Chain A
């Protein structure tokens, strides 16, 4: 076993020191060392988007980063979206518009949706489809996710809200 390294992961606003082997992926560290299991693993080769998180405010695949690479970075996971019991408009819209079924892709979808709307406050359905193409859902056929993101965008622009 290779030696472990100490890193600090600033997750959802609080810094947490963990000791990991260099080979440990950030996704595994978030799930296993920080116990934040809302970040899911669907493929571990960067195709499905279930492990999507925000790293310093940008969407990334946490299965394609090593935990040691995120030392000192600001990480937002699904658990950091919304405030306490208050849902983020994106979460609210996914529920209201049936943008989820089994829920496995949902954390990644919600983070990707927030990212899309943060860059394009009033996206068309086609823009949503193009921008979110890196996140796979096997249950919904996507139509209701597109509707969810559009509805959330409308709310977010009224509220001026973001992640």
Chain B
């Protein structure tokens, strides 16, 4: 269903209203907030991967001038911890404690906290804390963690296996496919073992919090960058043992979040508790070393896949085992990302027989949790590398192999054996458009002639689906996901006819404020300048079930549209009374309320009606005064964004250096609200995806368990010269499930990035038989592959 009226703002690159303060340096981020009397927290973190804490001597720190309090695990009696929201059946629970209780399980785990007059002094006090550590054996490798005799990270759980979850490959008829039969029948069986590297959002702004407890009013105000303030409020109140009505979460500008801020963190509890103890504002700003050690990591998986194919390239079956390195604690979403990997791995292909085991494994590493893409990019890496390996084995062009197996445009809704229902799309068309844009045949020809000159050019195709717009709450319930998937919106028309829109969405840089204003302006048919968007205050904004994510604007937009439908209906009822007409003869159009067929003569502006609504002299029977409406939208289904990327690179076989030639994107995210901002989201998600494909990695030292990538000189994020210019093309297949036809798209760009790059590199080196099965593809790793292949 698309909008029927002519749109004025949807589809327009409206300028971002967010920009005016930001370009002047007048943004307001957490670090910029400092109420009078603020004191500063610093956190002592475990220097060891695994160590018993036999005691902490705090006397010297407490005696230091300017120190207000020291918190250790002993001070947390009666304080709860944050639950895992996604509790799959059979998943052993191990909530993240606020301070390591008796044992530290990863480098960077909070052990104690100090509050002092300044951050400088608080760090001085950390130097004076004396912790009696007893170092234990550690394990930072997922296979080693599963081996007999491995150090057990959480003794309460028995061993390091958190869950073994099986996707049996149920088809649309509700029966499992015949995976063994498919492999018996196959002409070729192709195997792949992939290491998807550990990396994360590494937002430029580190996390931060300011907690302000008002003892007289018994209220806690927490300034936080959480993407899911409603849920944080609920859980924080429970953990602290105070009524939820006492907690207000305020969200200022956020300097990037990328999913990492979806989670609840120990520091949320620590600053709040310190403020309640001291009766004054307590501020904590994560430093970069802490950010790399203690903000959740993402992605890391060891995948083993087998693909059964017939000689004509038909994929008969796919089976896999995914080991997800969860780190030391299950964080807010449990093994959720790895589950999504299992659900999404069949991608755009008609694979009738599917089986996948997902195993969550504990290691002495930072928790692995929410990060842009959420298991999807990992899935795409596995399947898209498998498609290229299969193409190579069968001697079929990789584009052709994909085309032969794709779900066709007339086969939606498609019930995938991963368990998802794909709503719409045209996969072959997106592939064709991408090949055309990159001039596939020409690049293939050039590749040959360049190789003769010693230039190793490779072309990498990766297609993707992104199941987004999470999600119908009932389905989240079936998945044991303990929050709702809805999004609420309140729209209030003031007596002058201007609109204020209250959303539970938390803008993190995507331009949510602008896009929601566009949607509201379009549906109210008023000028966008007359729409204000209010966000970031749990005292004012609607409860959001799922919180903010790059792929949630579509759900929020529908809530806005639905609330506006109510406003318009009410405006028509009030207007009809004023116009002395039957409501059925009155319509809302162009921001006016008019008698149909007499728009010139018998018509009121929205302001006219709004004024009357507030005077309330003539409110129709059954209506209430004022002109406002709230709608909580629970999505009818997921939406499926999709597309194909093609990467073209040159590989220097002497150094393993990869140079960009071209990068083409064809994406289909349904109806686009703001093309310029969509481009920005694609660029940004690609930057996240390619960062992890080439540069970004949390490396742990096997011997010491230390995180070696704890500065930005060791953890490398892409800079200007590391990324190509992206060429973007769109297909538009509106979602049939959502009002407006929008699909979530803020994450999609990172889905096919790594496999496109890896496929391109493998293609460049096909003469050597090099396969690229680990990310990031560093020059050192790549050269070693080339060297082993005799290149």
- Contacts from A to B (Cβ < 8 Å): 1, 21, 23-24, 31, 36-45, 47-48, 50, 77-79, 81-82, 87, 91, 94-96, 98, 100-107, 110, 125, 128-130, 132-146
| Chain A residue at smallest Cβ distance from B507 | A102
Most buried by A among B20, B27, B688, B717: B27
Given contacts A21-B120, A136-B204, contact A95 B15 (CB under 8 A): yes
Distance, CA A102 to CA B252, complexed state (A): 11
- The reply to whether B508 and A138 form a contact with Cβ atoms under 8 Å apart is no
- The reply to whether A138 and B16 form a contact with Cβ atoms under 8 Å apart is no
- The reply to whether B509 and A82 form a contact with Cβ atoms under 8 Å apart is no
Distance, CA A47 to CA B680, complexed state (A): 24
Main secondary structure of the interface of A (DSSP, over half): loop
Interface footprint category on B: 35 or more
- The reply to whether A47 and B711 form a contact with Cβ atoms under 8 Å apart is yes
* Contact among B203, B676, B726 for A98, CB-based, below 8 A: B676
In the complex, whether B32 has a CB less than 8 A from a CB of chain A is yes
- The reply to whether B204 and A50 form a contact with Cβ atoms under 8 Å apart is yes
Minimum CB–CB distance from B247 to chain A (whole Å) comes to 25
| Chain B residue at smallest Cβ distance from A50 | B204
- The reply to whether A102 and B719 form a contact with Cβ atoms under 8 Å apart is no
B189-232 vs A, Cβ < 8 Å mask (1 yes, 0 no): 00000000000011111100000000000000000000000000
In the complex, chain B residues whose CB is within 8 Å of the CB of A130:
720-721
Distance, CA A45 to CA B15, complexed state (A): 34
Minimum CB–CB distance from A26 to chain B (whole Å) comes to 14
Q: Return 11 A-B CB contacts under 8 Å, by A number.
A: A31-B32, A37-B31, A40-B31, A43-B711, A96-B15, A98-B680, A100-B19, A100-B22, A103-B23, A104-B204, A104-B205
Distance, CA A96 to CA B473, complexed state (A): 39
Distance, CA A143 to CA B687, complexed state (A): 10
- The reply to whether A139 and B684 form a contact with Cβ atoms under 8 Å apart is yes
In the complex, whether B288 has a CB less than 8 A from a CB of chain A is yes
Most buried by A among B25, B683, B721: B25
* Contact among A96, A98, A102 for B255, CB-based, below 8 A: A102
| Chain A residue at smallest Cβ distance from B288 | A43
- The reply to whether B25 and A77 form a contact with Cβ atoms under 8 Å apart is yes
- The reply to whether A38 and B25 form a contact with Cβ atoms under 8 Å apart is yes
In the complex, whether B147 has a CB less than 8 A from a CB of chain A is no
Most buried by B among A95, A98, A135: A98
Distance, CA A41 to CA B255, complexed state (A): 11
* 11 further contact pairs, Cβ within 8 A, besides A101-B256, A103-B255: A37-B25, A40-B204, A48-B204, A95-B20, A98-B677, A103-B27, A104-B27, A106-B27, A130-B721, A139-B256, A143-B723
B280-298 vs A, Cβ < 8 Å mask (1 yes, 0 no): 0000010110000000000
In the complex, chain B residues whose CB is within 8 Å of the CB of A39:
25
Q: Which 8 A-B pairs have the closest CB atoms?
A: A38-B25, A102-B509, A104-B255, A103-B22, A78-B25, A141-B683, A101-B509, A141-B687
| Chain A residue at smallest Cβ distance from B124 | A1
In the complex, chain A residues whose CB is within 8 Å of the CB of B676:
98
B7-36 vs A, Cβ < 8 Å mask (1 yes, 0 no): 000000001101110111111110110000
| Chain A residue at smallest Cβ distance from B292 | A43
- The reply to whether B23 and A91 form a contact with Cβ atoms under 8 Å apart is yes
Distance, CA A110 to CA B22, complexed state (A): 11
Distance, CA A101 to CA B255, complexed state (A): 9
Minimum CB–CB distance from A18 to chain B (whole Å) comes to 14
| Chain B residue at smallest Cβ distance from A146 | B720
Given contacts A47-B713, A50-B204, contact A79 B24 (CB under 8 A): yes
| Chain A residue at smallest Cβ distance from B683 | A141
- The reply to whether A136 and B66 form a contact with Cβ atoms under 8 Å apart is no
In the complex, whether B405 has a CB less than 8 A from a CB of chain A is no
Distance, CA A95 to CA B725, complexed state (A): 19
